[in-house]
Amino acid sequence: METITSKTIKIARTRSGVPCLWESLVAFEELRRATIILDSAGKPKKAYYHNNEREKQALVGIAVGDHLVKCFEDHHGIAISVFRIEEVSIEENQAVITPVFRKSSLISESVYPEQYASMIETCMSKFSSEEIKIIAYKGYELEKAL
């Protein structure tokens, strides 16, 4: 059930019906954005499908208690959101998520609450990976073509 602070989001499913969300990585000259899914203990989950050359990179199964972490970085600083998955409905292809930590607006320090620090660091590490160079190059080529 959605509350004032919770949000209902669309989910994907595998061919066999397992509820999932997409992990993603987007890189432009001025903006980088990463989204990851972690289990209830904050550990990365195994993907059902993986392709590093696309924005939607990994299809990851979800369950109640898992976490969704989103990190944005631009010339103003970094914005971070950590959500907990509260409900999953395969009948309606949606999940209810609740924010458990948010920090944004010109932040540059890397001090986070202990229980979310490793989750945030895992998400932020995507910004320095080889994957971002591939995505950034494809984004540049697309902008150039337009």
Residue 24 lies in a domain: yes
Report pLDDT digits (tens) over 102-122: 887 655 555 677 888 888 888
Number of domains in the chain: 1
Task: For residues 75 and 28, give the distance between their C-alpha atoms in angstroms, rounded to a whole number.
Answer: 12
In this structure, what CATH number is given to the domain that contains residue 71? Answer: 2.60.40
**Residue in the structure block whose two tokens are 């898992």:** 66
Residue 110 lies in a domain: yes
Q: What is the pLDDT of residue 105?
A: 63
Task: For residues 134 and 36, give the distance between their C-alpha atoms in angstroms, rounded to a whole number.
Answer: 18
31's enclosing H/E stretch is strand 31-38
Residue 1 lies in a domain: no
Residue 121 lies in a domain: yes
- Per-residue tens of pLDDT for the chain, all 146 residues: 556 689 999 999 999 999 999 999 887 778 888 999 999 999 999 999 988 777 788 999 999 999 999 998 887 788 899 999 999 999 999 999 999 998 876 555 556 778 888 888 888 888 776 555 444 444 444 444 33
Residue 44 lies in a domain: yes
Q: What is the pLDDT of residue 136?
A: 47
Our measurement of the distance from residue 40's CA atom to the centroid of its chain's CA atoms, rounded to an integer in Å, reads 15
Owning domain of residue 99: 7-145
What secondary structure does DSSP assign to 94-109, as a single string?
EEEEEEEEEEEEEE--
Residue 76 lies in a domain: yes
